[in-house]
Structure 1
Amino acid sequence: MTRALVFPGQGAQAIGMGKALAETYPEAKAVFDEVDDALGEKLSAMIWEGDAETLTLTQNAQPALMATSLAAMRALEVEGFGLDQAAFVAGHSLGEYSALAAAGALTVADTARLLRTRGLAMQQAVPVGVGAMAALLGLDFETVKEVALEAAAEGEVVQAANDNDPGQVVVSGHKAAVERACEIAKAKGAKRAVLLPVSAPFHCVLMEPAAKVMAEALEAVEILTPKVPLVANVRAAAVTDSAEIRALLVEQVMGSVRWRESVTYMAANGVTEIFEVGAGKALSGMIRRIEKSITCSAVGAPADIEKLKS
């Protein structure tokens, strides 16, 4: 079997995530300690004992999800399921940073600080209540692009932001335009159109201020050649060049997450097994809908690793 490792994005966070890993594996606990030190606060306490509302804040959720993913990665390595067995890494939105840290391109400390900066910049790019995102179910990406064009009014933005799987595309932009897109999508046969509980419209041109912040932040950190190729969100193809990765991470702030195409690319390049490393199982569900030939395992707790060993 040819394996890939994928890392979840925002929305997968949950109070208590990673705690059992940290209690079972000293190597996993060390990741949370390193993130706490890098941020100068006890993010681990917020993750394990805090309230969901605070954890869901973008500037907290992003480094918290990365910490949980890297803790799970360290536990996998201890049990003999390391990076040396993977053909590719990939991540959904912020998960791309987790993937790069797992592949040795970024340090854990730099990744934590970058994601704190990214979360704050994305939140501050658009005033709360001005933007929105919605999941359109039952339409393909090309149809949703047409919906977005039709829904965009003078001076208002709405774009197809996440191509998640064959029947789920997320749109992002000004709230009124996103709401119009939901109505147009239903008229075009969408099964459902659901506004998402997010505080900012990610992956659209309204994030331009955040992209500028990230360009500056990324220039200040060292990015090494990843030990395993990264299947980049905005390229849906493998990249290894550090300068190219840096540019794509900036582009990713405003660009579409081409997840469906990324999974198809990995399958076309021989991947038959994927581990979803970190919190939740959302990516595994998407992958199964995209490529039935790929087997998926969500790895976020010691019990998940025990299943792999059996």
Structure 2
Amino acid sequence: MLALTFPGQGSQAVGMGRAIADAYPEAKAVFDEVDDALGEKLSAVIFDGPDDALTLTTNAQPALMAVSLAVLRAMESEGFMVTRADYVAGHSLGEYSALAAARAITIGDTARLLRIRGEAMQAAVPVGKGAMAAIIGLEQDAVETACTNASQPDDEVQIANDNGGGQLVISGHAGAVERAMEACKEAGAKRALPLPVSAPFHSTLMAPAADRMKDALAAVDIKPTIVPLVCNVLADPISHPEDIRKNLVEQVTGRVRWAESVEYMAEQGVNRIWEVGSGKVLTGLARRIDRTLEGTAIGAPDDISAALAQLG
């Protein structure tokens, strides 16, 4: 069984997708469609930078989706059908890429939603008020306890991502994150590292962004997925449009349950996971979550031919 996964923020790199766009007209058409939807040449930033422009949340989110869908369109031009996959899943913004791949949302609407999402998440919290940190080598229960003990009224921290392989990410008010980091180190964490992010994603501080996304999603036509989506906040499959809207809103403030999502797919019989788009982050995480999984990152023309050869 096969699952397609789609990367989240942090996987971007200047020049990503260029080789695919040069090799496949179908892939170039995706970048053109995203440019048209946004009314600007985001593709120029994707291919040529500068890096600080691509890294901006408002650009990185639609850019990563564009690359993922360009790769997928190239795969389809070589005969691959999305319905060959048993599940799709995406890490944070990658969930939007997964939904576009599963034909629930058009590429143009997905680009516009991700631009709104990036703007809303950046605007939700003043710079410096929030923070995120990676906690390495500490059990989830212990991190939960550290977050609870570090939280005070209007000064809170929570687990934002369970990435698997002993890696958890916490997010919230800067002071609470700092206290939780110290508590995690005292509890035996191997490392507690502040992350270079511009906002405390997937925390209660993102509530204004969730409200904005609720309005934006209500205005978009969403169709049932042609392949079940294992969604971030449930780590369970959904396919109905109203379930999609609800969970995309909850995802803004809720936890990315990535390890549980991968474990769910493995329990259903998935033994092969293809990461479609830029980078290899999810491929590495899959192997750490379940060593029986065969992970493949597909981001360049040669990757496509190698992956499709696996299917016979």
Matched, 1:27 2:26: yes
| Greater Cα offset, 126-135 or 136-145 | 136-145
Query: What displacement does 1:222 show?
Result: 0.5
CA distance in structure 2 between the aligned counterparts of 1:62 and 1:83, rounded to whole angstroms: 22
Residue type matched to 2:115 in 1? R
1: distance between equivalents of 2:301 and 2:136? Answer: 33
2:216 alignment counterpart:
217
Find the aligned partners of 1:286 and 1:82 in 2 and give their Cα distance.
25
Displacement of 1:130: 0.8
Conservation of the 8 A alpha-carbon contact between 2:136 and 2:166: yes
Structure 2 counterpart of 1:128, which letter?
V
TM (norm. structure 1) is 0.98
Unaligned segments of structure 1, at least 5 residues: none
Q: Which residue of 1 aligns with 2:63?
A: 64
SS at match of 2:217: helix
The question of 1:182 aligning with 2:181 is answered yes
Residue 105 of structure 1 contacts residue 225 of structure 1 at CA under 8 Å; is this kept in 2?
Answer: yes
Residue 309 of structure 1, CA deviation: 4.3
Q: How does 1:39-50 map to 2 (within 5 A)?
A: 39-50=38-49
Residues 31, 70 of structure 2: 8 Å contact kept: yes
- Amino acid across the alignment from 2:187: K
Q: Deviations over 1:238-296 (max 9, x none)?
A: 01111011100000000000000000100011100010000111111111011111100
Amino acid at match of 1:303: D
The aligned residue for residue 244 of structure 1 is 243
Contact 1:4–1:86 (Cα < 8 Å) also in 2: yes
1:7 maps to: 6
Note if contact 2:80-2:308 (Cα within 8 Å) is conserved in structure 1.
no
Bigger shift: residues 188-197 or 22-31: 188-197
Aligned-partner SS, 2:86? strand
- The residue aligned with 1:123 is 122
Distance 2:190 2:137 in 1: 5
1:77 aligns with 2:76: yes
Give the secondary-structure state (helix, strand or coil) at the position aligned to 1:283. Answer: helix
Deviations 1:123-144 (A, max 9, x none): 0000011111111000122221
- Give distance in 2, aligned partners of 1:142 and 1:97: 29
Q: Which secondary structure state, in structure 2, belongs to the residue aligned with residue 163 of structure 1?
A: strand
Report the CA distance between 1:152 and its aligned residue.
Answer: 1.2
* Superposition deviation, residue 89 in structure 1: 0.3
150-159 vs 30-39, which moves further: 150-159
Q: What are the superposed Cα offsets for residues 154-184 of structure 1, whole Å, 9 maximum, x if unpaired?
A: 4201000001004000000011111111111
Runs of 4+ in 1 over 4 A off after TM superposition: none
2:169 aligns to what?
A: 170
Q: Distance in 1 between matches of 2:207 and 2:175?
A: 19
Output the CA distance in 2 between the equivalents of 1:141 and 1:35: 38
Partner Cα distance (1:155, 1:214) in 2: 23
- The whole-number CA distance in structure 2 between the counterparts of 1:277 and 1:35 is 17
Aligned runs of 1:126-205 on 2, under 5 Å? 126-205=125-204
Residues 1:95 and 2:94 are matched in the alignment: yes
What do the CA deviations read for 1:105-155 (whole angstroms, capped 9, x no partner)?
000000000000000000000001111111100012222111111111342
Unaligned runs of 5+ in 2: none
Distance 1:288 1:52 in 2: 29
> Contact 1:139 / 1:166 at 8 angstroms: preserved in 2?
no
Find the aligned partners of 2:216 and 2:140 in 1 and give their Cα distance: 31
* Percent sequence identity over aligned pairs: 61
